[in-house]
Amino acid sequence: MEISKYKILAALVRSFFDAFSSGIIDNSDVAAEERRQPKNVKQSMLNHYEHVAPVFFDTIFFPLAAMNFQYDDIMRIVREAQGRGDDMHGLVKTACASDAMYEAMVAEYKRNFSALLGGRCVSVASHLEDYTRPAEGADVETLKAERAIELTVRVVMYAYARGLRHSVADGKPSLRQATLFRLLLDAMNVLLSDEAAKYDDCEDDLAAMFLKVCQSQHNFTVMTSEMDRTYDELVSKEEIDGNDTMTK
């Protein structure tokens, strides 16, 4: 299965904003049942407004570069950018590989951030209807679904961990299992499907929900394998608590 790079890009950007904002909101001092109210979502994002762009660029660079370049080329791009004195914005623009892809990224960034500043995350249904598509008649490159899944999982987990870290004053934060699973369900839905999933027939069976959005056991295995790998990476690089399993 191959997926349009525009669809992957849109999934990566939405997944970043959903996950980063969720990390911030999970550690809000507002009562748990009120954290997702629009006024509190908006305030949480305003409180961390200056962190959003730097964390976005840092989180999205490698997935974008890996979508468009081979590993050796990525290392060359980084060296050349360092030689020019490029900042992370410039590096991410290079990773987009084309002006059209960069413009699509900017459009998705603005759409998702604006929604959060309005008090909500872009819904799965709205995303699938409105995400930025290529110009009519343009050549559209694709990427294998397995690689797209890996990159999306990485963005979800890194963005969520960084949102948690930015909202924790002391100590190492723990990933909250329920939040992470919701984020990954939505991320796989927008990446692999063209319409919002309905879970009425899943009877609250999480495995059945994931199989529905992943569309195959193979894709589900790819997702869970990348979850395990990225979790180990987060523990070693992002100061996530690794003394026990993810908190519920």
The pTM of this model reads 0.94
* Pairwise CA distance, residues 188 & 123, whole Å: 13
Return the DSSP state at 243: S
Query: Tens-of-pLDDT digits for all 248 residues of the chain?
Result: 999 999 999 999 999 999 999 999 988 777 777 888 989 999 999 999 999 999 999 999 999 999 999 989 999 989 998 888 889 999 999 999 999 999 999 999 999 999 999 999 999 999 999 999 998 888 899 999 999 999 999 999 999 999 998 887 677 788 999 999 999 999 999 999 999 999 999 988 999 999 999 999 999 999 999 999 999 999 988 778 765 445 44
Phi and psi at residue 137, in whole multiples of 5°?
85, -5
Q: State the Cα torsion 119-121-124-125 to the nearest 10°.
A: 30
The Cα angle at residue 69 between residues 193 and 114, in degrees rounded to 5: 50
CB atoms within 10 A of CB 49: 10
Q: How many alpha carbons lie under 13 Å from residue 163 in its C-beta half-sphere?
A: 29
